[in-house]
Amino acid sequence: MGEMDAAEFDDVVDDWFIESLKTYKDLHVYQLEHPTRVIEWTSGKTVCVAGYRSAKNELLELLLPLKLLAEENKGLCAERDFKVVHGGFAEGPVHCLRHIPGTRCAVTNDGRSSGLQVWDLGGDDSDVIRRTASVAGRSASGRGSRIAAGLSSDPRVLHGAESSDVLLTDLTSGQSVYKLKSDAADPLSSLQFVSDSVFLACCCSGNIYTVDTRASDAPRPSPPPATGGGDGVLWCADASPSSAGGAGRVARLSSSGEAVLSDLRDLGGAVSRARLDVLIDHHNWDDVKVSWAPALDDCIAASGFSGTVQIYDTSAWAAEPAAARPLFEHRGHVVSSQRADSLPVLVTSHVWHPERPRTLLSAAADGSVHVWDWVDQSAAAC
């Protein structure tokens, strides 16, 4: 009677695989030809990804697998693949990509200059993504620009590499409609609109400018609340979407693994803190990301420190920082890493599904893209 040899055994059924039967409702694993650092929703069912090699790269708009999206009769749907619904070519790397809501327009930046490229994602009659325009940036710093899409009905894009060169440009006219008045050339980690006319310019130093485009005076930055971390600590931040429960909150994350939650109206103070369970040595700060769950109260996701994506329930955090354990950790990229060498693969991006509470997409430097719907084990245990 034959036995499976050890290698075959591990190949077929490894620990993570077994565990995943209980820890994920759905799990899809894809391999792109080239890795992406961007995953951006362009509709409830489609995302855009793009390469970041130094020369020519592809932009792809992918339709999520029908099986994942099926509400009823999920079992009768066998379709598990991504469909490439639109594609195009960029002349350089794509480090940032934003979709302008209500349009078929996307804006990208190459990470090594401040200008933006504007794209038409294509309609039903063609599957080609075409570049339609460029928008000049103000910065000559050689840093890439961060981009945010305006929330108003006019197609507008907010962009800048440093706090001194933030511009709000109207895409129809190509004219800038607002310039942030700031002398400090503070490198930005992100830009984000929190309402039609108010946006946050989050700096790597931890400073956050709350800017009302209707006001005439120059906004003052709010520094991060004092933390244990020393100099040279970098920060990224995310504001909770206005649709989620709870008034505006901002989560900041530092390169030393500190997380700080503040109220939008008082960014200098801290509502609660925690020390996250992350590796803090070896990463590219540009890829580190923290984001609020759009449909799951108090939850944030953090990625970029390693090959995993961590979900934290911040409702348990207190004013005094304590070590926090993640509610869930997606280790799929580490486990199925395609790298030949032994270096850890890093997660380059993650996004939450806008409506499904526990569905996320994540991408890693080895070209993998995962779509996962995790199970809250703590809830199951109750």
Partner 1 sequence: MPEIKVTPLGAGQDVGRSCILVSIGGKNIMLDCGMHMGYNDDRRFPDFSYITQNGRLTEFLDCVIISHFHLDHCGALPYMSEMVGYDGPIYMTHPTKAICPILLEDFRKITVDKKGETNFFTSQMIKDCMKKVIPLNLHQTVQVDDELEIKAYYAGHVLGAAMVHIKVGSESVVYTGDYNMTPDRHLGAAWIDKCRPDILISESTYATTIRDSKRCRERDFLKKVHETIERGGKVLIPVFALGRAQELCILLETFWERMNLKAPIYFSTGLTEKANHYYKLFITWTNQKIRKTFVQRNMFEFKHIKAFDRSYADNPGPMVVFATPGMLHAGQSLQIFKKWAGNEKNMVIMPGYCVQGTIGHKILNGQRKLEMEGRATLDVKLQVEYMSFSAHADAKGIMQLIRMAEPRNMLLVHGEAAKMEFLKGKIEQEFNINCYMPANGETETVTTNPSVPVDISLNLLKREMALGGPLPDTKKPRTMHGTLIMKENSLRLVSPEQALKELGLNEHQLRFTCRVQLQDPHSDSDTLHRIYTHLKSVLKGYTIQHLPDSTVMVESIVIKLSSSAEDPNTKVLLLSWSYQIVTRYVTNIVITKH
Is residue 245 a contact point for partner 1 (CB under 8 A)?
no
Q: Closest by alpha carbon to 333, among 318, 343, 324, 323?
A: 343
Q: Residue 310 is encoded by which pair of tokens?
A: 């961590």
Member of 71, 125, 231, 281 binding partner 1 (CB under 8 A): 125
What binding mask, one character per residue, do residues 325-364 give for partner 1 by CB under 8 A, x or -?
-----------x----------------------------
Output 28 or 156, the one with its CB closest to partner 1: 28
- Provide φ and ψ at 208, rounded to 5°: -130, 130
For the chain, the first-to-last Cα distance in angstroms comes to: 44
Is residue 46 a contact point for partner 1 (CB under 8 A)?
no
Member of 28, 98, 252, 358 binding partner 1 (CB under 8 A): 28
Q: Are 354 and 295 in contact (CB under 8 A)?
A: yes
Q: Closest by alpha carbon to 244, among 174, 301, 299, 184?
A: 299
Our measurement of the distance from residue 51's CA atom to the centroid of its chain's CA atoms, rounded to an integer in Å, reads: 15
Q: Are 370 and 362 in contact (CB under 8 A)?
A: yes
Smallest distance, partner 1 to C-beta of residue 9, A: 6
Is residue 100 a contact point for partner 1 (CB under 8 A)?
no
Our measurement of the distance from residue 316's CA atom to the centroid of its chain's CA atoms, rounded to an integer in Å, reads: 24
Is residue 70 a contact point for partner 1 (CB under 8 A)?
no
Member of 37, 86, 159, 330 binding partner 1 (CB under 8 A): 86
Is residue 78 a contact point for partner 1 (CB under 8 A)?
yes
Report how far apart, in Å, the C-alpha atoms of 216 and of each of 149, 178, 181 are: 22, 10, 9
Member of 41, 43, 45, 87 binding partner 1 (CB under 8 A): 87
Candidate ranges 121-129, 133-141, 223-231, 237-245; the one touching partner 1 (CB under 8 A): 121-129
Output 34 or 220, the one with its CB closest to partner 1: 34
Neighbours of 247 (CB within 10 A): 10
Smallest distance, partner 1 to C-beta of residue 26, A: 8
Integer-rounded Cα radius of gyration of the chain: 21
Q: How many CA atoms lie within 13 A of 176 on its CB side?
A: 15
Output 152 or 336, the one with its CB closest to partner 1: 336
Is residue 219 a contact point for partner 1 (CB under 8 A)?
no
Smallest distance, partner 1 to C-beta of residue 129, A: 7
**DSSP string computed for 156-203:** EEEEESBGGG-EEEETTT--EEEE------PBEEEEEESSSSEEEEEE
Smallest distance, partner 1 to C-beta of residue 79, A: 8
Output 75 or 232, the one with its CB closest to partner 1: 75
Is residue 285 a contact point for partner 1 (CB under 8 A)?
no
- Provide φ and ψ at 315, rounded to 5°: -65, -20
Contact residues for partner 1, defined by CB under 8 A: 1-4, 8-9, 12-13, 17-18, 20-21, 27-33, 58, 62, 65, 73, 75-89, 125-129, 336
